[in-house]
Amino acid sequence: MRKSDKTDLPARLSAILGPLGYLSAPDDCARYVRGARYGEGQTLAVLRPDSHEQLQQVVAWCAAHGQALVLQGANTGLVAASTPDASGRYLVLSLERLRRHIVVDPVNRSVEVDAGVTLQDLNAALEPHGLFFPIDLGANPSIGGMIAANTGGARLIKYGDVRQNLLGLRAVLMEPAGAVLDLMTALRKNNTGPDLKQILVGSSGAYGVITRAVLQVHCIPRQSATALVVPRDQAAVLQLLQVLERDCGEFLSAFEGISGAALQAVLQHIPAIANPFAAEGLPDYCVLLELDSSAARERSGLDLEQLLTRTLEDLFGEVIDNAVLGRGQDLWRIRHAISEALRHQGKLIAFDISMPRSALVEFRSEALTLMAARYPWLRVMDFGHWADGGCHFNLVWPHSAEPPYQAGLAEEIRTALYDLVVLRHRGSFSAEHGIGPYNLAYYQRYTAPSSRRLAGRLQNLLDPQRLLGLTWFGEA
Ligand SMILES: Cc1cc2nc3c(=O)[nH]c(=O)nc-3n(C[C@H](O)[C@H](O)[C@H](O)COP(=O)(O)OP(=O)(O)OC[C@H]3O[C@@H](n4cnc5c(N)ncnc54)[C@H](O)[C@@H]3O)c2cc1C
C-alpha cells in the first residue's frame, strides 16, 4: 500500500483495536474532540488501545501510512494540544485504556505506572503504602499527559514538578515506525550519558507516545498547618516568604497569593464559601500558606500549627496585618474556587506566567499601571503560586464593558503583558500549561532562534513526517 492510500484505515485500525478501541460515531468521538476550556475540532476516529502491543501496532501503521495523530490522556490540558483541529487531518490516539499497570516499590519509594492511569487512581493505589504522588492540581490528569505537559501545581515549592519526580519512562516513536524507546529505570542517580527521558518532558505530545513511567513518590503528610495571611503591603509578601523559608524551611508546602478582587469574586459567586475575614472586610491581597510534614505530631514532638502560629505572631505589625489560622480545607476551597468564580465575572483573559520571585512585586505594580493606563475597562483578578514565581495575572473583560470584547484587542493586551514578563523580567509566557496551538505564536516570538532550531531538528529526527501532535517546535 502507498503512503497516501488510507482507504482501508477504518478496517485495518479497527481490526487491531477491536470495537471498544476504535470509535468513529460522532457521538462517541464528541468528548475527545472538545477541550477542557476551549473549543472543538474534528476527527475521523478515536483510537483507544488497551495494550502496549496494540499501541505499538497503531503507531507503526500510522507512521507507515502518513496518518497524523493527536495524543490524548485525560484531556484536561489548557493549550489546545490534546484535541484535533478543524482540519479533520488528525486521529485522536487516547491513552485512557492503557491503565492496568501500577506496581509500587515502597522500599525504593517509587512506582511503575501505565501512561493512561489517572492521578487519582495512582494516589488510591499508593495510599495503602502511606505514599502519594504530590503534584497537586484542580484536575484529574493522566500520568502520560502530566509528563508531556510537565505539570506543576500548588505544592511545587516543596515537591517539585513532574520533571523532578520522573525516574524513567518508555515511549513509542514515529521513527523508526513503532520503535520502543526504553528508558525505564528506577534510579535516582544515573550519570551514564545524557538524560534522554527529559526530551519527552514538556514535549506536548510531539516527540513520541509515552506509554509507561517510573515516578518517585513521597510519604503522605501526617500533619499540616494552614493560614490565610494579610501582608502589610506587596513588598511584605516576599518578606513573609523569606521568613517562612528561613524559619519553617522544608515544611513550607504552599504559598499562594490571592488578590482582593479574586477573593471577592469567589465570595460573590460561590455562596457556600464564607468571607474568612468577616469582621475586617476584604483585604487588598492575602496569601494562603501551608506547612506539611510526614512526621506525626505525637512521635516527633513537631507541632506545625504551633510553629506556624509562633512564626506569624512575630511578624504581626511589621510584615503582616491579619491572619486566619486552621480550617485548612475551607481555606483551600477558596483557592480552588477562583478559576470558576472569575468566569462568572465576564470574558476571561487568563495568564499562566512566571518570573524570578524577586521580580514579582515590581512586575505586578507595572502590570497594574499598564492596564489602568491602556485598558481601564479590564478588571485585574490575579492570584498565583508566588513561591515558585508563578502568577495567574488574570483579566476579566466585563460583559457590559465599553468597548465590548474583541479577540484582536485581547491578543494585543496579551502581547503587551507577555512583553513585560518575558522581555523586561526574563520570565515565561507559559509557566505550567506548556506549548500548544494557543501558545505557538508566543513561542515563536519569545524563544531564541538557536533553541527553536535545535528543538525543530530533534522533532524532525523523531517524527520526520510531522505526524505527531499540533505543536511544531522548530522555526516558523
Ligand atoms: C481545572 C484545571 C486545573 C489545572 N491546574 C493545573 C495546575 O495547577 N498546574 C498545571 O501544570 N496544569 C494544570 N492544569 C492543566 C492540565 O491539567 C495539565 O496540563 C495536565 O497535566 C494534562 O494532563 P492530561 O492527562 O489531561 O493530558 P492531555 O490534556 O490529554 O494532554 C496534554 C498534552 O500532553 C500530550 N499527551 C497526553 N498523553 C500523552 C502521552 N501518553 N504521551 C505523549 N504525549 C501525551 C497531549 O498531546 C497534549 O499535548 C489544569 C487543568 C484544569 C482543567
> Out of 8-22, 232-246, 270-284, 452-466, which region has the weakest mean confidence (pLDDT)?
270-284
95 Cα nearest atom in ligand 1: 41
What is d(CA 190, CA 427) in angstroms, rounded to the nearest whole number?
31
Over the stretch 248-307, which tens digit does the pLDDT of each residue have? 989 999 999 999 999 999 999 998 998 998 877 899 999 999 999 999 999 999 999 999
Q: What integer pLDDT is reported at residue 445 of this predicted model?
A: 97
Is the confidence at residue 247, as pLDDT, over 60? yes
Nearest CA to ligand 1 atom 9: 153
Which of 38, 71, 339, when mutated, tests ligand 1's pocket best, judged by the most ligand atoms within 8 Å of its CB? 71
Over the stretch 1-16, which tens digit does the pLDDT of each residue have? 445 567 789 999 999 9
Query: Are the C-beta atoms of residues 473 and 206 closer than 8 Å to each other?
Result: yes
CATH of domain 221-341: 3.30.70.2190
Distance 202 CA to ligand 1 centre (A): 10
Q: What is the pTM of this model?
A: 0.96
CATH of domain 9-94: 3.30.43.10
**Domain ranges in the chain with CATH number 3.30.70.2740:** 345-462
**Is 139 touching ligand 1 by the criterion CB < 6 Å?**
yes
Over the stretch 33-90, which tens digit does the pLDDT of each residue have? 999 988 899 999 999 999 999 999 999 999 999 999 999 999 999 999 999 999 999 9
Q: In what order do the strands lie in the sheet with 110-114?
A: 102-105, 110-114, 209-216, 166-172, 180-183
**Is 149 touching ligand 1 by the criterion CB < 6 Å?**
yes
Distance 232 CA to ligand 1 centre (A): 36
What is d(CA 16, CA 381) in angstroms, rounded to the nearest whole number?
50
**Domain ranges in the chain with CATH number 3.30.70.2190:** 221-341
109 closest CA partner among 131, 134, 135, 136 = 131
CATH architecture of 102-219: 2-Layer Sandwich (3.30)
Over the stretch 379-406, which tens digit does the pLDDT of each residue have? 999 999 999 999 999 999 999 999 999 9
Nearest CA to ligand 1 atom 17: 76
Q: What integer pLDDT is reported at residue 5 of this predicted model?
A: 66
Is the confidence at residue 311, as pLDDT, over 70? yes
Distance 261 CA to ligand 1 centre (A): 28
210 Cα nearest atom in ligand 1: 42
- The residues facing 219 across adjacent strands are 131
Q: What integer pLDDT is reported at residue 212 of this predicted model?
A: 98
**Is 35 touching ligand 1 by the criterion CB < 6 Å?**
no
Q: What integer pLDDT is reported at residue 8 of this predicted model?
A: 86
142 Cα nearest atom in ligand 1: 25
**Domain ranges in the chain with CATH number 3.30.43.10:** 9-94
- The residues facing 241 across adjacent strands are none
Is the confidence at residue 323, as pLDDT, over 60? yes
Q: What integer pLDDT is reported at residue 1 of this predicted model?
A: 42
Over the stretch 175-204, which tens digit does the pLDDT of each residue have? 999 999 999 999 999 999 999 999 999 999
First to last CA, the chain: 32
CATH architecture of 345-462: 2-Layer Sandwich (3.30)
Distance 406 CA to ligand 1 centre (A): 28
Instruction: Map grid coordinates 523532578 to a residue.
Output: 164
- Report the Cα 16 to chain-centroid distance in Å: 33
